[in-house]
A and B are shown apart, each in its own frame.
Chain A
Amino acid sequence: MSFLTPLYLLGALAVAAPIVLHLIRRTTRGEVPFSSLIFLEPSPPRLTRRSRLDQWPLLLLRAAALILLAVAFARPFLRETAGMSLGRGDRRIALLIDTSASMKRADLWPKARAAAAEVIDGCLPGDQLAVIAFDGSPRTLLGFEESSKLDPARRAVVARSLVDQLAPGWQATRLGRALVHAAGVIEDAGDAAGDTSKLARRIVLVSDLQQGSELDVLGDFEWPRDVELELKTVTSEGSNAGLGAVAGREDREAKDEKDAGDLRVRVTNDAASKNEAFTLAWADGKGQPVPAYVPPGETRVVRMPRPAGTPPGHAVKLTGDADDFDDTLHLAVDSAQPAFVLFLGRDAADDASGLLYYLKRAFEGTSARPVTVEPVSPDAPLAMDPGRSIPLVVAAAETPTPNAERLRAYANDGGTVLVVLGAAGNVPTLATLADAPGLIVEEGPTRGDAMLTEIAFDHPLFAPFASPQFNDFTKIRFWKHRRLPADKLAGARVLARFEGGDPAIVEKPVGKGRVVIMASGWRPADGQLARSSKFVPLLNGLLAGPGADPGFSPQRLVGDQVRLPEGTRTVRKPDGSSVAIEAGVGSFSGTDAPGLYAAETAKGRVEFAVNLDPAETRTAPMDAETLERLGCRLSKDAARVEADREAMRQLQIEELEGRQKLWRPLILAALAVLIVETWLGGWLGRPRATPAEAHAS
């Protein structure tokens, strides 16, 4: 018989406790009064042979119960011949190789390949092996199933060749996702094989383990208890600094006019870096280089003046650090030309009860594009300068027919006309614009106020509000509105309605452009819209064209899926190759390298820059404890086969013991002994009649 937890047998020593306690002459028969204890000191208890054991059977029963409990806790089992071979190496190993951009540094990649080869060569014939590469996402190159079909020698060759074909790409390190994937692959392989026996499971990670690795996913993942993670970290001595563009309100924050056109660049220096002084320069050699002083572990924002009078530069380079894989910042051509919004109405600019007052303020804060609101008299002939970018015209008053015709032509060419219905009655301008002659608008019900309902959150205008935290429109009340017969507007879509069903916002496509009709304005007399947080995003939404994608941004990261402007036919990559985009496909996922990409659309070319993930710049090595904190079970010793065998043996023993469960009868026996002991104790302790009394009775 053997024991799974033999240390519990030491508990049997507790048997000695009652005997020793009995033998200690601590038991005193009463107390002895004495005149004074000033000459006495307490005596230590000592063992004496004179103490007699009176109740031998009771003592033996109690001792037996203790011993049975100790043996049960030691979990005994009977040895059987193990049905599992130990010599051939029964491990399931997932080799996880980092191919992120940071692996491009110095000689990291050759080192990583050597480490991977070592793991492959170290596999024993009985082992199972999978090869997984990862950067932004994990890719299984050789699965367990496939690997099990190969004989061990062949498997090693295949695995090595797969590793040799790998090369670090430009993507960020999503380490957490890769570890979860690898753990899943190992678990799935176990499930597929219907394992009852437990194989040692191990993930071997070959990586530079940089601090910029994303690990968030591990926080929610329960790491399998029997999967060990072995780290094979490759390190580089070099120091690194990285670049990033600072998006935002550069024009507004510039201290003076001179700085207004500057590009602001964020330079991050690695904590382990040895350099502090860097230089920034335009890649095309224009302009003066800008020095940047960034202490290790810190980040500074540096202003880069744009060379005057030349086409804008497309890339900024950083020099001064050891690793150059992340030293170029690509910039898309700035399309932020000044825009003009024409306001066709009679409101004074400083009249807080009019529309213009709020319109001007709504566009003041726009950062991406400077917008100027220009009031135009509705009676004067409307002049639309083709050289200016006019994305929106607000028609708040009736205008003569020629002007209305011009507006329709503008909409036909792709412009947006926002018609605000100010009063009931004939609306000839709208009738002209929407091609609905004789359109008459009535005054809406005046009782109470109205909220917006049936909002079309799928429409680009309302899409920014689709999330639950933004989609509360109940605080916007309208006191007055006009009743628009939307059914007379062919092809129009009602984007929102008032309570009661009257259309509130209607969009009608006109040619390439559109007419948007609001049945109530944002004057304080009409309702609370101007005072609502929804007002500014709503009007800004109108600035974009009818088919505009609000999600499109010209600055992207490697690996991002880019939503393309409508009508994109091809995307040209930085290396000159073109990727054809099928009709109906709205996104592009081939952003596999940093650089400038161009989407060719019917309207022209839309450029977007793709840069390295800024996290990839943080190349200082991470502590292994970070992984442990997130629940990964790190292997204590590097690939020690002996240790594994010992672990296997232990697992087998556990299994055997689990099958036999000898502790159960032992516990039952202990309970039985205790019952007998209780009965005997009671029997011995009960008061008995003396023989004389018995005789008398």
Chain B
Amino acid sequence: MSAESELLEKIRVLSRPVRIMHICGTHERTISRYGLRDVLPAEIEVLSGPGCPVCVTPEEEIDRAIALAESGVIITSFGDMMRVPGSNGSLMDARSRGCDVRMVYSIDDAIAIAKKDPRSKVVFFAIGFETTAPTNAAAILRNPPENFSLLLSHKLTIPAVSELIKEIEVDAFIAPGHVCTIIGVHPFQQFAEQGFPIVAAGFEAVDLLLSIVMILEQMNGSGKYSAENAYPRAVRDEGNVRAQEMMYRVFEITDSQWRGLGTIKGSGLKLNPEFAKYDASVIYADLISEKMKNISYEKSASSLCHCAEILKGKEKPDNCPLFSKKCTPSTPVGSCMVSQEGMCYNWYRYRGADSA
């Protein structure tokens, strides 16, 4: 008997009606790819939360990056981010209009571009959760050249979950494994104490099934919940303390805007004053405001899509009128259709467009 079928058997024994939300795009990818929703008992509902950094980046932040690209700055970013539409196309569209937009694998690739041509202005569009922010902090602590800067769009997981539990109906959470690699499991304990069992999971089908077993065991137990770790091969309970220290040496907490969720207090990062010389939003404030002054966000194409409700687990992709019609992986309207971690992308790819 395989580990998966043993875990599924355990789940069948422990099963009860429950709504479990994961908050990680890579979890969604595993769940969709292996069709886990189809093999779980029907009373166990697995919802996809706002766990894909590309998906939660709002149009305004993309527009800021495009404004810089249109002003002659070299914009560098991870591949997925380049195809997400802002209010007037994506970074990729800006590139096709002649802007210098380059895809990088790591912040260090972007720094190398800046070093190679000291007269250029190179900006790294820094997105991602607590997993990615420390890598950018580490690069800044190595004193990159002054023609290099960061356009920050980092998001923090814990404040987003705090907001979500106020307005959605879920019973338990699967915590994002690689975020937990950095911040540990302890910060999630507050949600357990508020009545939500929460288990950090890895990214294989067995990891996710194990986390569901652990959630059900908690729910069938004494009623006292806790934040548990189903991914000990990569996650220490206290996380990577050195990475946390580096992150908060370089960045400080600020409010941040999320696609679909609005502004969440304390959910973003900005550079500490000591590192302000690397803050593209300060260095190029005039260029950005000049290009952004005529943009209206009320009538943009993506305001028709249901990304906001999908990111909160309130709707499924096929509730969206654009899904698989106007919005497909080759012509995404909303952010959830772009990334391999997006709910709509995974729904489209693994369930088939004809299921809509």
* A and B together in one complex: no
Interface residues of B (CB under 8 A from A): none
* A residues whose Cβ falls under 8 Å from a Cβ of B: none
